Amino acid sequence: MSPPRLDGKAAIVTGAASGIGEAIARAFAGEGARVCIADVDVAGAERVARDLGAGAVAQAMDVSDESSVEQGVTRAVERLGGVDVLVSNAGLQHLDPIAEVSFADWRRILGVHLDGGFLTARACLRRMIAQQRGGALILMGSVHAKEASVEKGPYVAAKHGLLGLTRVLAKEGAPHGVRANLICPGFVRTPLVERQIPQIARERGLSEAAVVRDVMLGTTVDGEFTTVADVAAVALFLAAFASNALTGQSIVVSHGWHMQ
Ligand code: NAD
């Protein structure tokens, strides 16, 4: 039997009380990592940590707030004995054409995705540099880091921004053995997507089945959703990769939506 791929590693996963982040936290714990479940949803984070048992901890964290991230990462590092892997995954969606997006919604979406990516990556990179044992920064992008869709202006802008941030992190992390990569999933049927289906159906006068088939999966190769397990497998691969050979990349996992 091969040894656990993240044995002895400490990982912080943001937005890990639900969906993709939760699946990543579970996959990491299954491969021997000590995992911090960081989320604004404290009850949800505690539920996942309890389920994972010894070695997992829950941490309240609002990734869009500097002091919350600083305190949360400090506390996680104390409890896990360092940080070797960050998955900056917390996210939200907002649907509105640009002409109708309020400045408050624009800032809220950029705050969680782009400020959150910066604040969590900066806090963990600082610790990784001080620890002198390298590390992996994994940011959660989207096919929308490379493509646009109507009514997703703030989200698309934020995800494109994360692509640039990842590339800079790869260059600045390399001298310290810190790799940075972006995962770009297609549609995954999490609460974030479930909420969009009735809204898009209503606004475009479509059935919910048509939204799924045509709007969400119409450009995949096989009409299938990407799963949380698919994304967790990519995160695990990136977290466990051994050298700087794989850094600064953005990996699309989407059933063929957006081939690059
Ligand atoms: P989800 O709604 O299931 O989970 C998102 C989690 O983020 C929740 O637990 C929520 O409480 C947490 N969160 C929200 N704001 C936060 C904040 N300010 N601070 C800390 N935690 C916060 O959604 P998901 O689909 O699992 O999305 C996870 C990530 O994957 C997001 O970055 C999203 O943009 C990205 N993504 C999702 C899809 C998809 O189709 N579901 C596709 C591409 C990318």
Q: pLDDT tens digits, residue range 229-245? A: 999 999 999 999 999 99
**Residue 257 forms part of a structural domain:** no
* Whether residue 219 sits in one domain with residue 181: no
Mean pLDDT of all residues in the chain? 97
CATH number at residue 143: 3.40.50.720
**How many domains is the chain partitioned into structurally?**
2
* Whether residue 145 sits in one domain with residue 211: no
CB atoms within 10 A of CB 28: 29
* Whether residue 150 sits in one domain with residue 205: no
In the reported structure, the alpha carbon of residue 193 is separated from the centroid of ligand 1 by a whole-number distance in angstroms of: 10
* Whether residue 151 sits in one domain with residue 25: yes
For the residues 128-143, what does the mean pLDDT come to?
Answer: 98
Annotate 179-190 with DSSP letters as a single string: EEEEEEE--B-S
Test site for ligand 1: of 47, 149, 159, 190, most ligand atoms within 8 A of the Cβ: 190
Which residues, at least 6 apart from 227, have a Cβ–Cβ distance to it below 8 Å? 188, 189
Q: What pLDDT, on a 0 to 100 scale, did the predictor assign at position 1?
A: 73
Note whether 87 and 136 are within 8 A (CB).
Answer: no
What are 72-81's pLDDT values in tens digits? 999 999 999 9
Q: What pLDDT, on a 0 to 100 scale, did the predictor assign at position 50?
A: 98
- Provide the Cα torsion 154, 144, 179, 37; round to 10°: 70
Instruction: Give 86's strand partners.
Output: 12, 137
Rounded CA separation 186/189 (Å): 10
Rounded CA separation 157/138 (Å): 19
Q: What pLDDT, on a 0 to 100 scale, did the predictor assign at position 260?
A: 82
**Residue 5 forms part of a structural domain:** no
In the reported structure, the alpha carbon of residue 50 is separated from the centroid of ligand 1 by a whole-number distance in angstroms of: 20
Rounded CA separation 27/52 (Å): 10
Pocket around ligand 1 at a 6 A CB cut-off: 14-15, 17-21, 39-41, 44, 61-64, 89-92, 112, 140, 142, 185, 187-188, 190-193
* Whether residue 221 sits in one domain with residue 244: no
Q: Is the pTM of this model over 0.75?
A: yes
| Model confidence band, residue 228 (pLDDT cutoffs 50, 70, 90) | very high
For the residues 100-117, what does the mean pLDDT come to?
Answer: 98
pLDDT at residue 2 greater than cutoff 90: no
For the residues 25-48, what does the mean pLDDT come to?
Answer: 98
* Whether residue 204 sits in one domain with residue 132: no
Catalytic site positions: 155
Q: Which range of residues forms the domain containing residue 61?
A: 10-186+227-248
**Residue 2 forms part of a structural domain:** no
Q: What pLDDT, on a 0 to 100 scale, did the predictor assign at position 203?
A: 93
